[in-house]
A = this chain, B = another copy of it.
Amino acid sequence: MSRFGRATAIERVGDGRYAIDLDAGFAIGAALNGGYLMAVLDRAAVDATPHQHPISTAATFLRVAKAGPAEILVDTRKTGRTAATSRVSLVQNEQVAVEALITTGTLDPAAEPDWAGEPPVPELPPVEKCTGFQPVTEERERGFADRVDMRFDPATMGWLDGQPMGRPELRAWFRLPDGEDADAYALALAVDALPPVALNLGAKGWAPTVELTWHMRAVPAPGPLALHGTGRLLTGGWFDEEVEVWDSAGRLVAQSRQIARVGRGG
């Protein structure tokens, strides 16, 4: 089993109850990454219903989840021929950390779109012109930076050097490490893998996601995924972030929007 597969492996321990050992490697600062947590919840929702893909995941982040044991509770509210909807909770230390409404369905990998919009502009530069995470300088784990292979569009990385671009944009190539291809659960990770787009508006520090809804639109082709993050408004401490995920076959495979709080600096 791949590293990502192991990190998101759930064990069914009862009717609608699953156990998981959350992987410290997906922590960014104090908190486990929201996309990683959604991947885990999506696995449980798919396991508990007769469908194969998490078509719609609406997750609200109530408390920071930390590495270690947690429980997932799945309450399936309706099961239909086309879709099934479940209320899914991640519980740690007897408190709900994440609550989600997840609708599963089954997408045909060979489906051809009836209509598809144009890919976002600007395009991502070729991967060799993009920049990776900081190189390893010590013999230690880098956490999230070792769990995903991301290459960022340099045009969107000025915030790293104190020169935010002035627009809420971030773009990057995304792969799982070791050349593993993305599945539905990797898409959950991908839609929340970019740094907050508000960093390019001068915001600093951790930007806690309050709500994130993402839709799986197609089964991704093998190869790297292109992530296009944008936003529309930063006001009163709230900002939105939209991410589109395009696969190597040039298809929109996932789309998300989150609403988050701007960081308080640091």
Contacts and interface: CB of A to CB of B under 8 A. Distances in A.
**Which of the four size classes fits the interface of chain A?**
35 or more
A139 interface: no
Contacts of A8: none
Interface in A89-147: 96, 99-101, 103, 105, 107-108, 111-117
Contacts of A105: 238
B168 A211 contact: no
Contacts of A257: 213, 215, 255, 257
Contact of A211 (B103, B108, B116): B103
Given A101-B211, A103-B211, A85 B62 contact: yes
A116 B56 contact: no
Given A211-B103, A257-B255, A112 B235 contact: yes
A60 interface: yes
Contacts of A235: 111-116, 217-218
Interface stretch (A9-17, A75-83, A170-178, A186-194): A75-83
7 contacts: A60-B85, A108-B236, A112-B235, A116-B233, A116-B234, A117-B168, A213-B257
In order of increasing CB-CB distance, the 9 nearest A-B pairs are A58-B58, A213-B213, A113-B235, A56-B211, A117-B232, A115-B234, A114-B234, A111-B236, A62-B78
